[in-house]
Structure 1
Amino acid sequence: MIRTVRIEDAEAICAIYNPYVMETTVTFEAVPVSVEEMAKRIEVRLARHAWLVSVDETTGLINGYAYAGIWRERQAYRFTAEVTVYVAPNFQGNGIGKALYKALIEVMKAKGYNALVAGIALPNEKSVGVHEAVGFEKVAHFQNVGFKFDKWLDIGFWELQLNR
């Protein structure tokens, strides 16, 4: 089941996100996010964009989430949003990421957005696969722009035009 996030989901979202922060280069954040900070992030993104969660129908637990936020601050970018998706490791490979993105794409279309942009730390075949499966196309590759776990990391950008 996919639904709009609630502020009280912040703790469950931290439980999914923080292992990515501490154990992977999927995110360039390096410090775990507190529940209070995550609640603020949810509030900010819901004010103008969107944030969805996937809830396991058997357990009632959140097993993934996707959200949209500001791509760039300038006025001309107001119809473009940056998106991301995270799925709990034990639920990966079940189509949750794709389902979340498909739902998020529809919400963003309904809100009048024209384009979505996603940054992917590379290499990351799973994330590239999810993005391309829902229509994103690679448009940029930046080398050695992130530094985490004592190594330089590349990032690629994928774009989805919503009004084609």
Structure 2
Amino acid sequence: MISLRDATPHDGAALAAIYNPYVADTVITFETEPVRAEEMAARVSEAQESKLPYLVAIDDTTSQVAGYAYASKWKGRCAYRHSVETSVYLDRNQCGQGIGTLLMEALIERLRAAGMHALIGGIALPNEASVGLHERLGFKKVAQFEQVGHKFDQWIDVGYWQLILPET
């Protein structure tokens, strides 16, 4: 069973342990150096200071963090204040079990309650799992930038998926 809770800076080491294999082995993230636990803790604090959700999924059988999802500011200018970028990462041993969906559904509900309007997911391509997750949740592809990232001696395209939340 999986339970969700708000992340805290104390989760920094667990978040780094999930994230760093993506840094080291994939083009899913464009970071190229491992992220220290302290940096992940700072990222959690930054989201909280911005009043944006940062959620963790806990595997109740092991009490370990199985994944996380968060929102960050899309852009810094004031008119963008109702738009956020969403991100989700799973422990690679936990993929395919519905945890990403659970996290993203909860994140979307938190963002809806916070009055957000446009949710944007940037996806390094190809990434069938992430595209499938976003599209199942109602995100629509709105853009693709060609060869904007370079990692592991290859150029990488990035697609953007957007979900507009209806006004309440």
Q: What TM-score comes out, normalization by structure 2 length?
A: 0.96
- State the partner residue of 1:147: 150
Deviation, structure 1 residue 7: 1.0
Q: 1:100: how far off? A: 0.2
Residue 163 of structure 1: how far off its partner (Å): 1.2
How many residues align structurally?
164
What percentage of residue pairs aligned between the two structures are identical? 50
Q: d(CA) in 1 for partners of 2:165 and 2:10?
A: 31
Q: 1:133: Cα distance to partner?
A: 1.1
Q: 1:41 aligned to 2:33? A: no
2:125 is matched with 122
Alignment gaps of 5+ in structure 1: none
Q: TM-score, normalised by structure 1?
A: 0.98
SS in structure 1 of the partner of residue 75 of structure 2 = coil
Aligned to 2:13: 11
- 2:100 maps to which of 87, 97, 101: 97
- Please show how residues 30-109 of structure 1 align to structure 2 within 5 Å: 30-47=32-49, 48-109=51-112
Q: Could you tell me which runs of 5 or more consecutive residues in structure 2 were left unpaired when the two chains were aligned.
A: none
RMSD: 0.7
Q: Deviation string for 1:55-104 (max 9, x for gaps)?
A: 00100000000000110111110000001000111110000001000000
